[in-house]
Structure 1
Amino acid sequence: MCRAGLLRPFVLLAFLVHLCLLPLAEAGNRKICPDNFSQLAVQAAPAVVNICVTESDMRRGPSGLWPWDPGEEPPEENDPPPDFYKFFEKLWPKSSPDELKDLDPLLRSVGSGVIVDASGLVLTVNRDLPVSGQIWVRIKGNKPLPARLIGSDQETDLALLKLKGKHNFFRLSLGNCETLKPGDWVLACGNPSGLGFSMTAGIVSAKGRSLPGKQFAEYIQTDAKISRQFRGGPLLNLKGEVVGINIVPEDGNTDAGFAVSSKLAVDVINQLKSSGKVVRGWLGLSVEALTPERSKRLGGAEKMGVLVKQVAPDSPAQRAGLSKGDVILRYQGCPINKPKDLIQRVAASKKGSQVTVTCLRDKKEVDFIIRISARPDSGRAAPPPGYAENLLGVKLVGVTRELKDKFSLPVEYGLMVVELDAGGPAGRAGLLRGDIICEASRLKITGLPDLQKILKGLKPGRGLMLKVNRGDKFFDTALDLP
C-alpha cells in the first residue's frame, strides 16, 4: 500500500477529533460573558443612592415661602415686613397646612453615591455639592434622608457624607482594583433622579489613565456607559465589590467611562474620616521627562529617571540638598521612569515621614534622605455653612425649574434674594428681596457653590460685580466686601 493510503485513516481521525472539540471551544468562549447580571443588581441596589441638594432651608409655607415649618406661626422676631408677604403671596397661591403636611423639601439631584459603611458613610463626588444648605440622600424604597458633608478632596473630586441618625445601612465592600485587567467585565451603577437604581455593563478598557488637571489620580477606563447622573456611583467587579467610583471628566465628555480606583478611594475615605480633609506629601520640586539620549549623556539608564527643573526655596528637597539638574532615579527604592511616577508616590507619602530619593549627579548615584511636608493648600475640610450668604448679608434660594415655570421667571438659573440685611453689602448696593443674582465677576451663577468659589478667590478689599435680574430687566451693580 502506498504511503498516502496509510496516512489517510489518521488524517480522517484527526479531522473528526477537531470537529468534536469545536463545541467545547465555543462553550468555553460563551462562558467568558456571564449569563446575566441580575444577582449583582439585587445585591447592589440597596447601597446605590441618589444625592440631592437644597440650596436654602426655606420651605413653602401656608402663604408662600417661609423659613419655618408648614403650619407653624412664625416667631415675632423673625416675622418679615408686610411687603415680604405681599411679594411671595403673588408668587405662591395659598395652601392649607393639610396639603403641605407631608411636603418634601424642593430637591435637585446632583448625582449618585454608594454606602460604604453600615454606620451611614456615603462616598460620592464633590462636584455640585452645596457649600451651604442641606444635602439629602435617597435610598431605595425610602424617603430622602438628611446627610452632612464630612469633607471632600478637590484632586480626586471625591466627597464623604454621613447620613444623620443611627441605622444599620446596607453597604457595598471596597474591592481590590489591582486584580483588574483590561478585558475584565465591570458594571457601572447609578441612581438617577426619577429612575432609581440603574446599571450598565462593559469591560475594562485600560488602567492607570490620566485626565487633564488631575495629576494625583489614576483612573480606570471602561466602555460601560457613565452618564452625568451616574457620577459618584460605584464601578463593580463580578464579585459585587466596588473597584472604582464613577466620574465624568470636566469637559463633560461621556464617550468613554472613567472611575477613580478603589485603592485611591480607600485612602481618601480614611483621611476624611479622621480629619475631614486629605493631606498629600510634598517635596517642593518640579521635574520633567528625560529623553533616552539625554539620559545616556547624563550617565543614566536609557529608560529611567526624571530631570529636576526647579527646587522651591526652603522646601524639603532644598533642605535635603537636591538641586536643579539632578536626575531622580528611584523613590524609596522604586524606579521612577516618568514625572507621574514621582508625583503620585510623593503625594501618597505621609507628612513627617522620611523617604530615600536616589539621584544621579555627575554620573554618580547619590541617596538623599528627605522629610516629607504637607502639600501647600492640601486638603480642605467641609466649609462652614452660610459663608456666601453671611458675607453678602442675604438669604438666597436657587432658581429651580419648578420656580421658573410656576412664576414665569425670565431666567434659567441664578440665586433669588429672599431675605436681606439693608445695612449689609448687598443691601448697600441696592439689591431688593426678589432680585435674582445671575452672574458674579462675569461668571454664571447656577447655585451657591458657584458664588462660594468666586468669593473664596477674591482678595480682601476687592469689590464684586453682580449681574442682577429684577422683573423683566437686568442691571449690573458692584458690592464692597469687607
Structure 2
Amino acid sequence: MLAPGTNESLGSVFSHAAIAKEDPLFSSSSDQPLTTTTFRKVAQNVSPAVVAITAKTAVKLRQLDFPFWFFQDPFGFGNPQQRAPQKREKESWKTAGGTGFIIDKSGLILTNNHVVQNADEITVRLLDEREFPAKVVGRDPDTDVALVKIDTGEELPVVRLGDSDALQVGDWVMAIGNPYGYDHTVTVGVVSAKNRWIGMGNYDNFIQTDAQINPGNSGGPLVNVRGEVVGINTAIAGLRTGIGFAVPINMAKSILPALREKGKVVRAWLGVVIQSITPDFQESLGLKNRQGAIIAEVTKGSPAEDADLQVGDVILKFNGRVVHSSRDLPEMVGLCHPGTKASLTILRNGKIVRVKVKLAAKPSSKTLAQKGPEKQYGLGLNVRDITPEMAWRYKLPRGIEGVVVVEVEFKSPGQRAGLEEGNVILRVGSTTIKSAQQFYDVTSKLKTGVHILLVYRNGNQVLVPVRIRGND
C-alpha cells in the first residue's frame, strides 16, 4: 500500500507498518476474501512507488588498430618498416537494468545489491517517466540488499513494509517490476515455499514464488494482498520456470538502519566451519535426530577458539534457539552485533555441554584467508608421510601434519567417501595422525560401521564419514 505525501517517519516505515483500516482491501485479517478487483487495487496502490533502475559501469575494451596497408600486406613483406597493428583501449559503458521501490518519501529506495554493485552511474525512472540520478547509500552483498537515494525536491509515494514471517505457503502474492525493460509489469502467484536455500551465500532464506520473475525484476517488490511488501525479488531458477526467489523483507528491515547510518553491515562472527548432520554422522555420534551443525574446523584466533570449541562438537542451540541444520547457524550469528555474549548448547563426546562465547566482528575475506588453511579426508588408501617433496608435489601449506593420500583403491570405503589423491588425513576418529605407519596401525583396527576422518583438501578442512562394510 502507498502512503504518498504522508508525514510517516522512516522509523515507522522500517517497523512492521500499520495497515490502513479504512480500506477493506487492506484489512488486518489474513483471511480477507479475494474479489475481482483485489489485484487491481494492489497494483494501483503499489505501482507509483516502484521504480526502474538503470546502472551503468565504465569498461575498457581492448582492440587492435590495423593500419590500412595491413589488409593488403598483413605480414609486412612489402615493407618491413611498416607499422604493425597497435593495441588500443576504448572506453565504453556496460548497462544493466533492475527495479526498486521507495520506502521513504525523501527518496530512499530498496533494491538488490547486484543491481547497483560497481555502478558508476545510476538512474532511477519513476512511474511518470521522470528520471533522476541516484547515489548508493549502503550495500550488503551477503543478503543482496542495497539502499539508494534520489533527490526530487518533493515528497514521493512509498510502500508499506509487511511481515514476511507471517507469510504462509499458498498465500497470494504479486510481483511488480521491469522485466526485459517492460516497466511496471505485474504478475501474480502464490508463496510456493519458505526458507529456501539456493546456494547464494550464508544467509540464504528465500521466499519461493511462482509469480513470474524475469531479468529486470531484480530488486522489485513481492507484495501480499494487503498491499504490503513482503519480499525483494532477487533470483530465478532458469527462464520461464515459474520458480522465483525473494529476500524476506524482515531480513532487509533488520539491516536497514545500518545501511542508512554506516553504509554497510558489520556482522558478528563465531569462527567455525560447519557441516550438516548426515545419516552417517547421526549413526556414528549416536544422535536421536539430525538437528544441529557439526564443527569441521575452528579458525585460529577466533571467538570459537577462545571459547575452546572443538572439531566434532555438535552445536544444538544458539542463544536458546534450536539449530535445525547447518544453514541456520550463520544467520543466527549474523543477526547478532559484535561483542554479543552468546550461549551455545553443544554435544561433545556424548555429553551436553553449555559454552559461553563473546562474538567478534566478522573479518574481511582477505583477513580470513591469511589465517591459514580452512576446511577437508580418507580407507582402502595408500598414504605417505609429508616430506618436503610431497608438500611441493601436492602444494600443501607449510607446517601441515598428517599423511597424504597417494592412491585410492577402486570401490574401497575411501573411494565411496569421496577421498582423492592429494588429500591429507589429519585425524581418524579421535586419534591425531602423525605418520603413515600410525595411520595403518589405527585403520587396521577399525571395525564395521561409520568412522569420522578429519581431512585437508583444496585449501580446506572438513569431516568425512567413511563407512566400512562387512565385505570390505
Letter in 1 for 2:234: I
For structure 1, which segment, 111-120 or 130-139, has the greater mean C-alpha deviation from structure 2 after superposition?
A: 130-139
Residue 149 of structure 2 corresponds to: 162
Q: Secondary structure of 1:168's partner?
A: coil
Q: Secondary structure of 1:214's partner?
A: coil
> Matches of residues 451-462 of structure 1 in structure 2 within 5 Å?
none
Partners of 2:285 and 2:94 lie apart in 1 by 61
Q: Is 1:304 matched up with 2:306?
A: no
Partners of 1:378 and 1:268 lie apart in 2 by 20
Partners of 2:128 and 2:303 lie apart in 1 by 53
Q: Alpha-carbon deviations, 1:52-102, whole Å to 9, x = none? A: 13446xxxxxxxxxxxxxxxxxxxxxxxxxxxxxxx9xxxxxxxxxxxxxx
Residue 125 of structure 2 corresponds to: 138
Residue 187 of structure 2 corresponds to: 200
Residue 111 (structure 1) aligned to one of 83, 87, 98: 98
Residue 218 of structure 2 corresponds to: 231
Task: Decide whether the 8 Å contact of 1:126 with 1:157 is kept in 2.
Answer: yes
Partners of 2:40 and 2:341 lie apart in 1 by 49
Q: Secondary structure of 1:313's partner?
A: coil
Residue 341 (structure 2) aligned to one of 336, 354, 361: 354
Q: CA deviation at 1:378?
A: 7.3
Task: Decide whether the 8 Å contact of 1:359 with 1:365 is kept in 2.
Answer: yes
Residue 40 of structure 2 corresponds to: 38
Q: Secondary structure of 1:314's partner?
A: coil
For structure 1, which segment, 354-363 or 311-320, has the greater mean C-alpha deviation from structure 2 after superposition?
A: 354-363
Q: CA deviation at 1:30?
A: 12
Residue 151 of structure 1 corresponds to: 138
For structure 1, which segment, 291-300 or 209-218, has the greater mean C-alpha deviation from structure 2 after superposition?
A: 291-300
Q: Alpha-carbon deviations, 1:325-377, whole Å to 9, x = none? A: 21211111111121011122111111111100111123221111111112222
Partners of 2:291 and 2:94 lie apart in 1 by 53
CA pair 126-252 structure 1, distance change in 2 beyond 3 A: farther
Q: Secondary structure of 2:138's partner?
A: strand
Residue 219 of structure 1 corresponds to: 206
Partners of 2:110 and 2:163 lie apart in 1 by 17
Q: Secondary structure of 1:146's partner?
A: strand
Partners of 1:164 and 1:253 lie apart in 2 by 36
Q: Is 1:271 matched up with 2:281?
A: no
Q: Secondary structure of 1:40's partner?
A: helix
Residue 439 of structure 2 corresponds to: none
Q: CA deviation at 1:180?
A: 0.9
Q: Is 1:363 matched up with 2:350?
A: yes
Task: Decide whether the 8 Å contact of 1:52 with 1:107 is kept in 2.
Answer: no
Q: CA deviation at 1:141?
A: 1.0
Partners of 2:127 and 2:213 lie apart in 1 by 20
Residue 344 of structure 1 corresponds to: 331
Task: Decide whether the 8 Å contact of 2:345 with 2:355 is kept in 1.
Answer: yes
CA pair 128-236 structure 1, distance change in 2 beyond 3 A: closer
Flag structure 2 segments of 5+ consecutive residues without an equivalent.
1-30, 59-89, 367-472
Q: Alpha-carbon deviations, 1:408-431, whole Å to 9, x = none? A: xxxxxxxxxxxxxxxxxxxxxxxx
Q: Secondary structure of 1:217's partner?
A: coil
Task: Decide whether the 8 Å contact of 1:55 with 1:130 is kept in 2.
Answer: no
Q: CA deviation at 1:265?
A: 1.1
Q: Secondary structure of 2:203's partner?
A: strand
Q: Secondary structure of 1:37's partner?
A: helix
Residue 379 of structure 2 corresponds to: none
**Structure 1 residue runs of 4+, over 6 Å off?**
250-253
Task: Decide whether the 8 Å contact of 2:181 with 2:216 is kept in 1.
Answer: no
Q: Is 1:240 matched up with 2:227?
A: yes
Q: CA deviation at 1:36?
A: 4.2
Task: Decide whether the 8 Å contact of 2:54 with 2:97 is kept in 1.
Answer: yes
Partners of 1:228 and 1:125 lie apart in 2 by 12
Q: Secondary structure of 1:181's partner?
A: coil
Partners of 2:117 and 2:277 lie apart in 1 by 43
Instruction: Give the TM-score normalised by the residue count of structure 1.
Output: 0.58
Partners of 1:107 and 1:340 lie apart in 2 by 35
Residue 120 (structure 1) aligned to one of 107, 119, 126: 107
Partners of 2:350 and 2:275 lie apart in 1 by 18
Q: Is 1:290 matched up with 2:277?
A: yes
CA pair 40-132 structure 1, distance change in 2 beyond 3 A: closer
Q: Secondary structure of 2:42's partner?
A: helix
CA pair 279-158 structure 1, distance change in 2 beyond 3 A: same
Q: Is 1:47 matched up with 2:34?
A: no
Q: CA deviation at 1:251?
A: 6.6
Partners of 1:174 and 1:30 lie apart in 2 by 19
Task: Decide whether the 8 Å contact of 2:209 with 2:242 is kept in 1.
Answer: no
Aligned residues: percent identity? Answer: 36
Residue 359 of structure 2 corresponds to: 372
CA pair 131-289 structure 1, distance change in 2 beyond 3 A: closer
Letter in 2 for 1:328: I
Q: CA deviation at 1:107?
A: 10
Task: Decide whether the 8 Å contact of 1:50 with 1:192 is kept in 2.
Answer: no
Q: Secondary structure of 1:248's partner?
A: strand
Q: CA deviation at 1:294?
A: 4.0
Partners of 2:118 and 2:96 lie apart in 1 by 15
Partners of 1:107 and 1:298 lie apart in 2 by 53
Q: CA deviation at 1:170?
A: 0.7
Q: Alpha-carbon deviations, 1:305-331, whole Å to 9, x = none? A: 222111011100010111112121111
Task: Decide whether the 8 Å contact of 1:112 with 1:124 is kept in 2.
Answer: yes
Q: CA deviation at 1:303?
A: 3.4
Residue 321 (structure 2) aligned to one of 316, 330, 334: 334
Instruction: Give the TM-score normalised by the residue count of structure 2.
Output: 0.59
Partners of 1:304 and 1:30 lie apart in 2 by 37
Q: CA deviation at 1:228?
A: 0.8
Q: CA deviation at 1:301?
A: 3.1
Partners of 2:296 and 2:106 lie apart in 1 by 47
Q: CA deviation at 1:134?
A: 2.1
Q: CA deviation at 1:193?
A: 6.9
CA pair 322-177 structure 1, distance change in 2 beyond 3 A: same
Partners of 2:150 and 2:176 lie apart in 1 by 20
